[in-house]
Every structure is written in structure tokens, then in C-alpha cells.
Structure 1
Amino acid sequence: MTTTTELIDYVYAQPAMLKEIVNNRKELLKSFMDGFLKNNVSRIIFTGSGSSYNAAMSSRHFIEKTLQVEVQVEFAHTFAQYSCVYDKQTLVFALSQSGESTAAVECVQKANELGLFTVAVTSQEGSLITEFAQNQIIVPSGEEKAGATTKGFTATTLTLYLMAIETAYAANKLEESEYNRYIQTLLSIIDNMKNTIAAAEAWYNEHKDELLEAKSYVFSGTGDLYGTAMEAGLKFLETSRIPVSIYEFEEFMHGPYNAIDENSYIFYFADPGQDYERMLTLADYFAKITPHGFVVTKSSDQPRPGSLSPEFINDPDLAPIEYIVPMQVLFFRAAKERGVNMRTPRYVDFHPSMKSKRRLRFL
């Protein structure tokens, strides 16, 4: 009898996979760190599309803080075709889980031509992008055959955290006590994921009738949790296949708020960062307009009606990697209830037609 893997199986498999990445981090990152320490890097540009881009956005500020280097995130196509100002001390990361994204390959080629240090971040060793990049980080998340990416996103985000932590420590930019704290916190987050998943399952069962009535969703986050909001919104769109709007917290207040009405379904990501209280104020304001507001935050932190509140570890630097997990449960359950076949793209000829994920060489 053949067992078909579902997306939710990857969600439940994440803790073991992520712990293995932490335990093997030094071997995983050794080649990259040797290259990084030999280059005088003063600026980092992450390029990617979809979940790869969102993983970079979810770790950007932490990497900048830890490595004490300017960090920029660009869409792969934008970097490859339009960006034009660089210096020789720029490090370009090209992120592509499959390693076959044509835009990501073009980023590496362009950076190589400019004489910049290039690193491919992919889960597929021997994929096209690794043939062009000077260095590579292979994220051992494995292939996903159940549709929208889940473990690939968390594994990439975790690997970017570890890249920053290990490199900063090796470059004497991070004290040993802080290094140990970060590693232990990541392990605590991973160990706690089973509880986070269970809390999300319980929340969905309580709220599924309401959630399934939605004709569209809104997601808002701040800081690195804006990347989490982007990833959650992308996956709800991919799986439930209904309109989704995603807003950085402050930008939400500069125009988009005018579209909110009693039929709006809004997820607010409220971690313990500097915008925490204002995010709750935003949720309280719109609670007067729509009953479908859901604050995603730690269970002991001022829960609102409808809050999705697992007992997060809630480290302000590392929150994205655990805040995305309950959303993975929700977008799978909601899409399955809607009868969506998540294993089959809506338009099966799209990527071949656009040549966006084909093994093409640009020589």
C-alpha cells in the first residue's frame, strides 16, 4: 500500500529536521565561513523569490545586528535585471530551494561578472545554481512533494540564523555567552514546536467555521515578523487560492486601513519587539469594525478574543521561526477543508510557459 505524504506531515516532521541542522551546523557552514572570513565583506545582499525571499526577510535584521554588516534583501529578478550600484566588498546570496530558479541563477551570474563574492543557498546539492556560485550552503531540508513549501522555509530561516551566529562568533563579533544563548534558544524553540503545533490544531478546530467563511485574508507584521506575515500570506494564497493582502505594520496605517470593513479577516503578528503594544492597539482599533481579527502572540501576553496564542519561547530576535509554524497548520487545514488539491498547481503549464523554473543555461 502506498502512503501519500501530505503537507501537514512535513509540518510535524520539522522539529527533528531542524534539530539535526543545529547539531550539524559547523560542518554545514564550514565552507561558507572559510570563504566569508577571507573576504572583507561590508555589505550583504540576499536575493530570492517566494519563500526564499521571505526567509531572508524573516532573518534580515537579526543577521545585520549579529554580523554588524549592512543587509539588503532584493527580489531575484530585480537584482538580476535592474540593480546597478555595488562595491567589491558585497556578498551576494542567491536563495533557491530547488536550485533551478532561472532568476536566482541570473543573480549569481551577474554578481560573478561584477567580481562579487557569491553564495548559493539551496536544498539541492548539484542543482544548477551550485554550478555557478563560488560557494554554497546546502540546507538539508529534502524535497517537498506535497505542494507549498513548509519545512524548506523553516530550514532556510534557521540556516540563515546559524550562518550569522557562527560567523559572528568566529569573527569575534559575538561573545561566547551570547553565542551559547542563541544556540540554546533555538533548541528550545525547536523542542517546543510540538506544543505550538498542538495549540494551532486546537485553535483551528475552534475557529474553522469562521475561518472558512473568509473571502480574503489580511496579514500584518513588523520587523522580521513582516517576513513571517509575507510567508503566511503567500501560503494561504497558494493553498486556499483566495485573495490575500500583506502589509508591513506601519505601512498598513498609510492608506490600506481604509479598505477594512466588517468582512475583513486580519492576522496580526505581535512578538515582544518594540512595536508590540502598538500592534495590539491596532488590533483593538479594528476589533470595533470587524469581529474577525486574530492576534498571533504568546499565550501569557495580553490575549485578545480570537487570539492564536501558543506558549511561544518568544525570543524577540528569533521569533519568526516559531511564529510561522501555527500558520502552516492553519493554511493546510483550511485548504483541505476547502477541497483544494495542494499537490497540483492550479495552472500546470505556468512555469514551463514562463521558463521560470527550468534547467536553462545562460552562457
Structure 2
Amino acid sequence: MTDPTFMRREIAEIPAAVRRLLSEADADLAAAGEALRERDPAVIATVARGSSDHAASYLKYAIELTAGVPVASLGPSIASIYHAPLKLARGACIAISQSGQSPDIVALAGAARAGGSTVLSLTNAPASPLGAAADRVVDIKAGPERSVAATKSFVTSVVAGLAVLARWQQDAALQAALAALPDAFERAIACDWTPLAEALDGQESLYILGRGPAHAIAMEAALKFKETCGVHAEAYSGAEVMHGPVAIVRAGFPVIALIARDAAQASMAESVARVAGQGANVFATASTAGATTLPFAASGHPLTDPLVLIASFYGFIEMLARRRGLDPDAPPHLKKVTETV
């Protein structure tokens, strides 16, 4: 029997990493939430790349749904290449990076701070350059992550952001849902998506659909298909896919619908019906007409339910990579810390 991959081990560590974050970083999470409450920002900017940018997209939906504050993603090249000043005197900035080392992320966080923003960094390396560039630093407590494909650091980045949001908005229901997440992740990791792996044998292209926070999870899932399996996967909103991309869906085309237990569930069911009607082979994380149901672990809260889905997906994609004879720990042309300008 071969040893488990680093990716598999790190997926298994997600529940413990979340417990560690919520207990050991509680004071920093509370201080960051208080800083945002005192700031009362009119807008929030996010700074991130790769999986961290998908975490930022998740937090964008969560903040806009909960606090009503618009959130915009800033392109790091604004600072690192174009050296353009920013006007963020009434804003806050959330910068996310597992390593905290990429020069363009650090430069943009610095530019946001110079432009008057309060900067919060979420990083696995609080003593990193990104930590130094921020007003408030939250250690996401993921622990060492050796697989190139981020898993537990993505999850703890989102959980850290949600925990700050819960304290900022004094949202007791969200805080309770976060406290219950480790158990939900344990259940999610145990979900078996083998039928999806069998359906993807011989397939090299697919769509992944989601709405709201689940759209950010779809983007993360699409990246993991590319990183670990060399499969061309594209993520779309369940609504956006109808504005052109649905045209290429034909008989047997694989579609994964990441459906959370939230206000978008009915609209996602409509999207599934549309693509299934065109002959797509649809798998969904809800019992939905026209789709094969994938097992899921419900979290009991609309802002955490989509996040739990990624743990089930991570287990699946690690297995799919090995099924295809690939090493998910060492994708070609990639390295763990990516430093771009």
C-alpha cells in the first residue's frame, strides 16, 4: 500500500486546523473585527491571487450579504507594475496570502495602506512581508502545507475572514456556525464522490456551476482540476453560464453543480434543468431533477454551507489525480510559493 499523498494528509487535517484557528487566534480575530467596526468602511478592497483570490471572492459575497458593504478585487499590478496611487481613505483592505511573500501582493497592500485604508492580512506566515504591510494580522493557523495545491490554507483563510466578519457584525448565529464547522468538515471529508470520478474517465473539459459563495467554491474547484489533473474546467455562475457558455453543452458534457442550502438553491435547480435538457451529464450537491446527487455535509448556515463542499471536493480531486496516474503534490510547472511582480 502506498503512503498517502501530502495533499490527502492535509485534507484530513482541515478539521483540526479550523479548531486551532478558532481557539488560538480568537484574540486576533476579535481585534480585527473591532478594527472594522471602528473603521465602518464604505468599501472593502481585496488583494490576493490563486486560491487566496477565491477565498477573497467567498468573503466578498459573505460581506456584501451580511454587512451590505461593497467589496472589490484590486489587481496587484496596479501597484507593482503601474505604480498607481489609490484613494481608500474611507475603505478597508483584506490581503490574503498563504506565504505572505509575493511581491505584488505585498506592494498592493502597502499601496492600499498609503492610500488611507486600514489593511488586514490573512496569512499562514504572520512574520512575512505581507504581515509587516498590514495594520492587523491574523495567523490562519493552517500549519505546514507541503502539497503545491492549497487545501487547508484555503479553508482556514475563508474561516478567518468569516470569523472577523462575525465579530465585526456581532453576528452570534454566524459565530455558532463557525464553531460547528470542524465537525461538518469531518463529515464532508467522509463523503464519497467516486461515481463522479467514473463519469469523468476520458473527459478533458467540464463546467462547474455555483451561485453566491458557492461560485467562489466553483472557481477553487476549477483551479484544482487544472493544477492536479490537467483537466480544463471552467467555473461559472449558474446564471452567467446561460449568457453564452451554455452553447457548447451537448450530450455527455460533464457539469458539476455546487448547490448550497441557501437562497440560490432554487435558481441553481433551474440551471441544472437547463443544461440537463441539453444532454449534459450533471452531478449536483443537492437532490435536483436532471442530476446525479453527490453526497454532502450540510453545515446549517447559508454562509458556511458552501465552504463545507470544498472538503468533499478536495478528497475527490486528490483521488481523481491518482486515478489518472498523476502526483497531486507535484503538478508540472508549479511550485508552492509563487512570487510574481
Q: Does 1:195 align with 2:187?
A: yes
Contact residue 77 and residue 104 of structure 2 kept, 8 A = yes
Query: Partner of 1:74 in structure 2?
Result: 74
Contact residue 303 and residue 309 of structure 1 kept, 8 A = no
Query: Partner of 2:293 in structure 1?
Result: 307
Query: Partner of 1:101 in structure 2?
Result: 102
Secondary structure of residue in 1 paired with 2:22: helix
Instruction: Quote the Cα distance in structure 2 between the aligned partners of 1:97 and 1:134.
Output: 18
Query: Partner of 1:317 in structure 2?
Result: 303
* Structure 1 position 104, deviation (Å): 0.7
Instruction: Quote the Cα distance in structure 1 between the aligned partners of 2:179 and 2:318.
Output: 25
Higher mean C-alpha deviation, range 40-49 or range 77-86: 77-86
Q: Does 1:327 align with 2:309?
A: no
* Structure 1 position 23, deviation (Å): 2.7
**Structure 1 residues 193 and 23 mapped into 2: Cα distance closer, same or farther (>3 Å)?**
same
**Structure 1 residues 59 and 133 mapped into 2: Cα distance closer, same or farther (>3 Å)?**
closer
Secondary structure of residue in 2 paired with 1:212: coil
Query: Partner of 2:17 in structure 1?
Result: 17
The amino acid of 1:45's aligned partner reads: A
* Structure 1 position 112, deviation (Å): 2.7
The amino acid of 1:225's aligned partner reads: A
Query: Partner of 2:272 in structure 1?
Result: 283
Instruction: Quote the Cα distance in structure 2 between the aligned partners of 1:315 and 1:329.
Output: 22
* Structure 1 position 193, deviation (Å): 2.1
Instruction: Quote the Cα distance in structure 2 between the aligned partners of 1:228 and 1:19.
Output: 21
Instruction: Quote the Cα distance in structure 2 between the aligned partners of 1:36 and 1:59.
Output: 14
The amino acid of 1:268's aligned partner reads: A
Contact residue 55 and residue 153 of structure 1 kept, 8 A = yes
Alignment of 1:212-227 (within 5 A): 212-227=201-216
The amino acid of 1:193's aligned partner reads: F
Query: Partner of 2:175 in structure 1?
Result: 183
Secondary structure of residue in 1 paired with 2:180: helix
Query: Partner of 2:119 in structure 1?
Result: 118
Query: Partner of 2:162 in structure 1?
Result: 161
**Structure 1 residues 312 and 253 mapped into 2: Cα distance closer, same or farther (>3 Å)?**
same
Query: Partner of 2:49 in structure 1?
Result: 49
Q: What TM-score do you get using the length of structure 2 for normalisation? A: 0.90
Unaligned runs of 5+ residues in structure 2 are none
Aligned with residue 245 of structure 1, among 234, 241, 244: 234
Contact residue 60 and residue 71 of structure 2 kept, 8 A = yes
**Structure 1 residues 303 and 150 mapped into 2: Cα distance closer, same or farther (>3 Å)?**
farther
Instruction: Quote the Cα distance in structure 2 between the aligned partners of 1:152 and 1:232.
Output: 14
Residues 116-172 of structure 1: CA deviation (Å, up to 9, x unaligned): 222222111211212222321111112211220000011000000000001222xxx
Residues 208-262 of structure 1: CA deviation (Å, up to 9, x unaligned): 3222221112111111111010011111111001211111221111101001122
Alignment of 1:290-301 (within 5 A): 290-297=279-286, 301=287
Instruction: Quote the Cα distance in structure 1 between the aligned partners of 2:252 and 2:68.
Output: 44
Residues 72-97 of structure 1: CA deviation (Å, up to 9, x unaligned): 23343357657766341111121111
Instruction: Quote the Cα distance in structure 2 between the aligned partners of 1:315 and 1:15.
Output: 17
Q: Runs of 4+ in structure 1 displaced over 4 angstroms? A: 78-85, 301-305
The amino acid of 1:63's aligned partner reads: I
* Structure 1 position 289, deviation (Å): 3.2
Instruction: Quote the Cα distance in structure 2 between the aligned partners of 1:103 and 1:91.
Output: 18
* Structure 1 position 291, deviation (Å): 4.9
Contact residue 5 and residue 145 of structure 1 kept, 8 A = no
Aligned residue pairs total 339
Unaligned runs of 5+ residues in structure 1 are none
**Structure 1 residues 85 and 125 mapped into 2: Cα distance closer, same or farther (>3 Å)?**
closer
Query: Partner of 2:135 in structure 1?
Result: 134
Secondary structure of residue in 1 paired with 2:256: strand
Secondary structure of residue in 2 paired with 1:357: coil
Secondary structure of residue in 1 paired with 2:251: coil
The amino acid of 2:271's aligned partner reads: L
Secondary structure of residue in 2 paired with 1:267: strand
The amino acid of 2:124's aligned partner reads: S
Instruction: Quote the Cα distance in structure 2 between the aligned partners of 1:302 and 1:289.
Output: 16
The amino acid of 1:357's aligned partner reads: E
Query: Partner of 2:26 in structure 1?
Result: 26
Instruction: Quote the Cα distance in structure 1 between the aligned partners of 2:78 and 2:256.
Output: 29
RMSD: 2.6
**Structure 1 residues 193 and 133 mapped into 2: Cα distance closer, same or farther (>3 Å)?**
closer
**Structure 1 residues 304 and 329 mapped into 2: Cα distance closer, same or farther (>3 Å)?**
farther
